[in-house]
Amino acid sequence: MKKLYLLEDAIISPLGFSTKENIQAIREGKSGLKLQKPKFTENQFFAGIIDEILLNRAFSEIGSIEKFTKLEKMILLAVKQVLDKNKNLDLSETALILTTTKGNIDLLKEPGDFPESRLKLSELGKVVANFFVFKQTPIILSNACISGGLGLAVARRLGNSGIFKNAIVVGADLVSDFVISGFNSFQALSPEACKPFSKERDGISLGEAAAAMLVSFDQPQNSANISLIGDASANDANHISGPSRTGEGLYKSIQKALKEASISAEKVGFLSAHGTATVYNDEMESIAFHRSGLQEVPIHSLKGFYGHTLGASALLESIITKHSMLNNELFASKNFGELGVSKSLNIIQSNKHKEIYYALKTASGFGGCNLALVFKAEKE
């Protein structure tokens, strides 16, 4: 299968309204997680929420703030940034791949002036496509927390046969009362800012973000570039909300992705894990990584910066991975204290310089799904 080049990207998150701002914030160790008072939950919790005033201020420059939902404004800002850097892109030939777990689910509780149909992801897709006049029907994926990364794999798999040369892949989700209630009923929300892979970890922090990236099969002019060269997903076939204790699906995904990329585990220079900070997820990942021979690879989770951004997470975190590879820098795993999983891992504890040639991004989600993506850096 052909390489898929990762071109311009944009991140709209509590850490900033551009990839540049986000990377700078991460470099400085700034987290987007803020304390939230208990609304209907028993306890306080932390979440990364985008300030609506700032969002509206930014969006008012490109569209009418009353006509679009919060999620739509986030997505449209992200896609606009990517398109502004690619004015020559032929939108009639560019696919739009939109990934989200819950879309405009906040409308279920507070519809405002929006029709019920806006709850439908196909309507969300239309809103985005029509704003920019994409000609092709958006391809919409909703596959739990691997969605954003699966979007990249889908772009590569579909485009490989020549159906399209370029695609804009978007991943976005909100911190909604719906989702807060749900994870709270699961007893899965930490009362503190989440601590991936740590001994004291006790649950997730939620986050919201929109991430967008232009991908292409055409080799970019820049000799320094990042491409997707291996991708695989596999279900655990174990439980719909708890991960496999042996990390079966994740292990399989990693093996297949590495095989497709024709590299061995030793070649992987950096691993961006899912690391949601639940007791079970992080333990499962450590087992899968160990089984794959990845225990020495520098690894982090970005959930301490963003919280779990659900459908956006795997795409957002792939974008950060891409820039780590381009800039030869590794970012520390925020809120990591003492290792709290049964298998040893090489958790990145402070920012450092490293030349990375191959990186692995993994993700797992409800429904037992797992995903592994292998990225390659071509250096100048």
Q: What is the binding site for other proteins (CB under 8 A)?
A: 1, 40, 42, 101-103, 105, 108-109, 119-122, 125-126, 137, 139-144, 150, 154, 157-158, 160-161, 163, 177-178, 181-187, 232-242, 248-249, 252, 256, 365-369
**Distances in whole angstroms, Cα of residue 216 to Cα of each of 1, 6, 146, 226:** 13, 7, 21, 11
Q: Which is nearer to other proteins, 196 or 365 (CB)?
A: 365
Q: Which is nearer to other proteins, 158 or 326 (CB)?
A: 158
Q: Which is nearer to other proteins, 16 or 125 (CB)?
A: 125
* Least distance from other proteins to the Cβ atom of residue 128, Å: 13
Q: Which is nearer to other proteins, 16 or 249 (CB)?
A: 249
* Least distance from other proteins to the Cβ atom of residue 99, Å: 10
CB 96 within 8 A of CB 170: yes
Crossing angle of helices 279-291/248-261, nearest 10°?
A: 40
* Least distance from other proteins to the Cβ atom of residue 53, Å: 27
* Least distance from other proteins to the Cβ atom of residue 92, Å: 17
**213's tokens:** 């990236």
- Of the candidates 351, 355, 324, 300, the one whose C-alpha atom is nearest the C-alpha of residue 27 is 351
CB 214 within 8 A of CB 164: no
Q: Which is nearer to other proteins, 40 or 353 (CB)?
A: 40
Q: Are strands 209-216 and 166-173 parallel, antiparallel or unpaired?
A: antiparallel
Q: Which is nearer to other proteins, 232 or 345 (CB)?
A: 232
Sheet containing strand 34-36, edge to edge, reads 34-36, 45-48, 206-207
Q: Which residue has the tokens 């939950």?
A: 41
- Of the candidates 312, 307, 302, the one whose C-alpha atom is nearest the C-alpha of residue 33 is 307
Phi, psi of 271 (to 5 degrees): -130, 120
Q: Which is nearer to other proteins, 162 or 218 (CB)?
A: 162
* Least distance from other proteins to the Cβ atom of residue 329, Å: 33
CB 166 within 8 A of CB 94: yes
- Between CA 21 and CA 357 the distance in angstroms is 24
* Least distance from other proteins to the Cβ atom of residue 108, Å: 5
* Least distance from other proteins to the Cβ atom of residue 349, Å: 29
- Between CA 180 and CA 227 the distance in angstroms is 35
Q: How many CA atoms lie within 13 A of 17 on its CB side?
A: 17
Q: Which is nearer to other proteins, 23 or 363 (CB)?
A: 363
* Least distance from other proteins to the Cβ atom of residue 104, Å: 11
- Between CA 314 and CA 198 the distance in angstroms is 21
- Between CA 358 and CA 265 the distance in angstroms is 10
